[in-house]
């Protein structure tokens, strides 16, 4: 994101070591090309913070209007979501996920619900490259992840080359997992190159995260789900089970491209990034 040095600037911050948060931040930033990214000591017009309430509180205390995006799939009442101090608090809860959130209250005046925060450019998969794997959200039960991943990959035709993987696993966890799955060849891919890898894939094998659903929708790929980790992934898996017309606890649950909502609301099913960019622009024009 580059603009003339004298142009308006934004503080853009995502929770460290959180790939979903980093992806959401970059997807929104792609729609804010008229702004430059503020450095630590720059005076900024507004801020966007993803998943880091402490940093959000610091910016608000400094008097900077701030849009805060809760962790993807979080719902009011979830641990770590209460008492976030921000000008606008955003919840990434696409319409298909709403029934699984069990929301007990309507959003407050300073809160908004956005749809999937997706990449600015979407490319339909041409297939022919075999499966791709996404592991984002930790590996608290490595043996379970290993068994589920092996089962999912064995159910597919052999890949034409190394299986691309997008992951934020720690290096030790990644080394352990690949050593246990030695019958497969993997290639770790960065976030910037992931959409290109998906354009060659036939299937996305992933934990049930909103980032995985976003990439599956964008590339029009079947999504084979691994076991859920934590409350947010369990919520996503439950909702996807309803979409797919099957039980959410099935070990072989696959969501096919035909079940994704085509158009939900003004922003569309994948328009969360544009919704957030719009909120940033409004803050810059009329700070609260």
Instruction: Provide the CATH number for the domain around residue 156.
Output: 3.40.50
Q: Residue 78's pLDDT is what?
A: 86
CA nearest neighbour of 135 among 225, 217, 50? 225
Q: Residue 109's pLDDT is what?
A: 65
* Of 210 and 157, the one with more pLDDT: 210
User: Rounded to an integer, what distance in angstroms lies between the CA atom of residue 136 and that of residue 229?
Assistant: 10
On the question of pLDDT at 5 being above 80, the answer is no
What percentage of the chain exceeds 70 in pLDDT?
88
Judge if 47 and 145 occupy the same domain: no
CA nearest neighbour of 25 among 187, 16, 147? 16
Mean pLDDT of the chain: 86
Judge if 97 and 192 occupy the same domain: no
pLDDT band at 229 (very low <50, low <70, confident <90, very high): confident
Q: What is the domain range of residue 151?
A: 131-259
Q: Residue 100's pLDDT is what?
A: 81
Whether residue 180 lies inside any domain: the answer is: yes
Q: Residue 244's pLDDT is what?
A: 85
Q: Residue 255's pLDDT is what?
A: 93
Judge if 136 and 62 occupy the same domain: no
Q: Are 80 and 101 in contact (CB under 8 A)?
A: no
What percentage of the chain exceeds 90 in pLDDT?
56
Beta strand 203-206 pairing with 131-135: parallel
Whether residue 200 lies inside any domain: the answer is: yes
> What is the Rg, in whole angstroms, of the alpha carbon atoms belonging to the chain?
19
Q: Residue 1's pLDDT is what?
A: 41
Which ranges constitute the DSSP H helices of the chain? 19-29, 53-61, 98-101, 142-154, 171-180, 194-198, 210-219, 230-244, 272-285
Judge if 159 and 47 occupy the same domain: no
Q: Residue 8's pLDDT is what?
A: 83
Beta strand 254-255 pairing with 9-14: unpaired
Number of domains in the chain: 2
Query: Which residues, other chains included, contact 78 with Cβ-Cβ below 8 Å and sequence gap of 6+?
Result: 231, 232
Judge if 144 and 249 occupy the same domain: yes
Judge if 212 and 102 occupy the same domain: no
Cα–Cα–Cα angle for 51, 131, 253, nearest 5°?
70
Model pLDDT for residues 26-85, shown as the tens digit of each residue:
999 999 999 988 876 568 999 999 999 999 999 999 999 999 999 999 988 888 888 898
Judge if 62 and 135 occupy the same domain: no
Whether residue 65 lies inside any domain: the answer is: yes
Roughly how many angstroms between the first and final C-alpha of the chain, as a whole number? Answer: 25
Q: Side by side, which strands form the sheet with 203-206?
A: 186-188, 163-167, 131-135, 203-206, 223-225, 254-255
Q: Residue 95's pLDDT is what?
A: 87
Q: Residue 198's pLDDT is what?
A: 94
Q: Residue 120's pLDDT is what?
A: 87
Average pLDDT over residues 211-229: 93
Judge if 144 and 244 occupy the same domain: yes
Whether residue 236 lies inside any domain: the answer is: yes
Judge if 83 and 113 occupy the same domain: yes
Whether residue 234 lies inside any domain: the answer is: yes
Q: What is the biggest distance separating any 2 CA atoms in the chain, rounded to whole angstroms?
A: 57
Whether residue 175 lies inside any domain: the answer is: yes
The token duo for 148 is 């589920």
Q: Residue 17's pLDDT is what?
A: 84
Name the DSSP class of 84: -
What angle, 0 to 180 degrees and rounded to 10, lies between the N-to-C axes of helices 19-29 and 210-219?
50
pLDDT band at 246 (very low <50, low <70, confident <90, very high): low
The token duo for 57 is 């509180």
Whether residue 265 lies inside any domain: the answer is: no
User: Rounded to an integer, what distance in angstroms lies between the CA atom of residue 63 and that of residue 46?
Assistant: 9
Judge if 107 and 180 occupy the same domain: no
Judge if 54 and 174 occupy the same domain: no
CA nearest neighbour of 11 among 214, 283, 288, 274? 283
Model pLDDT for residues 149-192, shown as the tens digit of each residue:
999 998 776 667 899 999 999 889 999 999 999 999 999 999 99
Our measurement of the distance from residue 33's CA atom to the centroid of its chain's CA atoms, rounded to an integer in Å, reads 21
Judge if 157 and 228 occupy the same domain: yes
On the question of pLDDT at 282 being above 80, the answer is yes
Whether residue 264 lies inside any domain: the answer is: no
On the question of pLDDT at 3 being above 60, the answer is no
């Amino acid at each position: 994101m580059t603009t003339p040095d004298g142009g308006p600037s934004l503080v853009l911050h995502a929770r460290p070591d959180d790939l979903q948060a980093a992806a959401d931040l970059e997807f929104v930033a792609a729609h804010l090309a008229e702004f430059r990214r503020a450095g630590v000591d720059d005076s900024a017009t507004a801020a966007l913070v993803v998943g880091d309430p402490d940093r959000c509180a610091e910016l608000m205390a400094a008097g900077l209007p701030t849009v805060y995006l809760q962790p993807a799939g979080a719902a009011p009442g979830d641990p770590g979501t209460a008492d976030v101090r921000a000008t606008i608090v955003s919840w990434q809860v696409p319409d298909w996920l709403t029934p699984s959130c069990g929301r007990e209250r309507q959003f407050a005046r300073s809160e908004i619900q956005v749809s999937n925060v997706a990449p600015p450019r979407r490319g339909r998969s041409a297939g022919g490259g075999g499966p791709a794997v996404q592991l984002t959200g930790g590996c608290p039960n490595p043996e379970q992840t290993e068994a589920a991943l092996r089962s999912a990959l064995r159910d597919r035709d052999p890949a034409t080359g190394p299986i691309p993987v997008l992951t934020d696993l720690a290096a030790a966890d990644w080394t352990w997992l690949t050593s246990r799955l030695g019958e497969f060849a993997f290639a770790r891919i960065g976030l910037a190159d992931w959409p290109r890898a998906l354009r060659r894939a036939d299937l996305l094998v992933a934990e049930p995260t909103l980032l995985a659903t976003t990439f599956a929708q964008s590339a029009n790929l079947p999504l084979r789900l691994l076991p859920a980790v934590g409350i947010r992934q369990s919520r996503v898996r439950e909702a996807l089970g309803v979409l797919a017309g099957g039980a959410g606890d099935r070990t072989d649950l696959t969501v096919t491209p035909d079940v994704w909502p085509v158009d939900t609301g003004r922003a569309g099913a994948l328009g969360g990034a544009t919704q957030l960019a719009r909120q940033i622009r409004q803050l810059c024009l009329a700070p609260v």
